[in-house]
């Protein structure tokens, strides 16, 4: 009678596991709603996608001396609702990402064992909820978390991706002024305007001062008083212009790169043709396709929001500004993620081919909710119009 294989799950040891983890990553390509197949290069740091979180852990699964899977997790405090006086209600939230199982070792319960061990660590560190993100069409992942691990489908944000062209985009500088904000000014604006948004991190100051945040930018009408002087966020909010918008830029390029795999020679040729035409006829501003078939970096836009009847125009100007920043820094893509109900979503330029209308976030209650009791069970709450996507978990 054959002996069952023993799966050992333990904490990742960079001195022993780096090469074997990278090998598993290389054979576990991920897709985007079945549209493209991506390979993620973590640039020699398997923990890079959670390293900037306040508390994090990586586990590996081994059979004998062979690494067959891994999982990453982090914990932070976020907004999960608001009180009647519009103050935020915070909860300790855990996030699962980077679950990988070698193709030759799937359907053996390894993924389930990794998730269960990670949840034990979450509970031991006081997390009240855990959530994960996956593609809605990833049947195996959805089944694992919803059928076997007790997670509920919770939110369906959209991922919006726009290529970076060889030419700069217009920022409407004759009508709109874009103001770079110091981290303390950006924090003041975020805490005063967006702190009750779901998933807003209590330590947003740590995000804004992180070396990967390239800046926070505020768009205002050029004719407004604020276009010529900046006395600080407090005075700005005391008398804001009729419309404004802001966003922050996170540099994912310095964390990991992506590469499209499996594209046909015809598609590669067509993509190259668009780049050649754009280079030869730059005044036409043709929508060329960057070279996604070699490792490429991208910038992630977070904290996007605004107010007023012209906020959509402000967002478009900010996205053009972010595009040009990415172009200057050698990135091939600008991406963002937000609620599918976000009012400003239609102002964000993106290519539908590369984007995802409905990502899937699943959530699980790990223990009692230790907030003030006015919220109840967050897993049963209806979605709001906006969510705050933490760039540390991209």
Taken in order of first residue, the domains within the chain and their CATH numbers are 12-156+358-393 (3.40.630.30), 161-347 (3.40.630)
Please tell me the least confidently modeled range out of 70-79, 338-347, 348-357: 348-357
The encoded tokens of residue 339 equal: 């609620």
Q: Is pLDDT of 3 > 60?
A: no
**Residue 267, pLDDT score:** 87
Alpha carbons within 13 angstroms on the beta-carbon side of residue 299 total: 28
Q: Is pLDDT of 286 > 90?
A: no
Q: How sure is the predictor about 37, in pLDDT bands with cuts at 50, 70 and 90?
A: low
Q: Which residues pair with 88 in a beta bridge?
A: 82
Q: Is pLDDT of 2 > 50?
A: no
Beta strands in the chain (DSSP E): 7-11, 30-31, 37-41, 55-63, 66-82, 88-101, 129-135, 152-155, 158-163, 176-181, 213-221, 244-251, 257-261, 298-307, 333-338, 359-365
Rounded to whole angstroms, the Cα distance separating 19 from 24 reads 9
Rounded to 5 degrees, φ, ψ at 351 are -100, 125
Distances (CA, A) of 308 to 186, 344, 352: 19, 11, 27
Q: Is pLDDT of 9 > 90?
A: yes
The encoded tokens of residue 69 equal: 């899977």
**Residue 314, pLDDT score:** 97
Please tell me the least confidently modeled range out of 9-23, 233-247, 357-371: 357-371
pLDDT tens, residue by residue, 38-91: 677 777 788 998 999 999 999 999 999 999 999 999 999 999 998 878 899 999
Q: Spell 294-310 as b/e; 16+ CB within 10 A means b.
A: ebbbbbbbbbbbbbbeb
């Amino acid at each position: 009678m054959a002996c069952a294989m023993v799966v050992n799950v333990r904490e990742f040891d960079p001195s022993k596991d780096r090469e074997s983890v990278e090998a598993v990553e290389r054979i576990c390509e991920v897709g985007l709603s079945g549209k493209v197949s991506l390979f993620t290069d973590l640039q020699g740091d398997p923990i890079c996608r959670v390293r900037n979180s306040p508390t994090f852990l990586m586990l590996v699964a081994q059979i004998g001396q062979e690494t067959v899977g891994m999982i990453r997790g982090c914990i932070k405090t976020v907004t999960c609702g608001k009180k009647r006086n519009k103050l935020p209600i915070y909860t300790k939230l855990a996030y699962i990402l980077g679950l990988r199982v070698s193709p030759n070792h799937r359907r053996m319960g390894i993924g389930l064992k990794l998730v269960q061990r990670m949840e034990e660590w979450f509970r031991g560190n006081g997390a009240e909820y855990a959530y994960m993100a996956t593609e809605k069409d990833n049947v195996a992942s959805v089944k694992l978390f919803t059928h076997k691990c007790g997670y509920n489908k919770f939110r369906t944000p959209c991922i919006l991706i726009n290529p970076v062209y060889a030419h700069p985009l217009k920022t409407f500088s004759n009508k709109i002024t874009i103001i770079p904000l110091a981290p303390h000014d950006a924090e003041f604006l975020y805490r005063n305007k967006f702190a009750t948004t779901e998933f807003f991190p209590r330590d947003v100051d740590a995000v804004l001062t992180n070396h990967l945040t390239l800046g926070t930018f505020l768009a205002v009408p050029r004719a407004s008083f604020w276009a010529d002087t900046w006395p600080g966020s407090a005075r700005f909010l005391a008398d804001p212009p009729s419309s404004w918008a802001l966003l922050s830029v996170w540099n994912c390029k310095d964390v990991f790169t992506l590469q499209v795999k499996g594209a046909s020679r015809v598609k590669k040729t067509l993509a190259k043709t668009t780049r050649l035409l754009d280079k030869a006829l730059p005044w036409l501003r043709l929508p060329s396709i960057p070279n996604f078939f070699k490792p490429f970096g991208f910038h992630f836009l977070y904290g996007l929001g605004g107010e007023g009847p012209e906020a959509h125009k402000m967002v478009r100007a900010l996205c053009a500004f972010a595009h040009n920043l990415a172009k200057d820094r050698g990135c091939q893509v600008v991406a963002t993620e937000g609620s599918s109900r976000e009012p400003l979503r239609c102002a964000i330029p993106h290519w539908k081919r590369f984007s995802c209308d409905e990502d899937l976030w699943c959530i699980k209650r790990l223990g009692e909710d230790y907030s003030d009791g006015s919220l109840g069970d967050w897993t049963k709450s209806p979605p709001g119009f906006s969510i705050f996507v933490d760039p540390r978990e991209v």
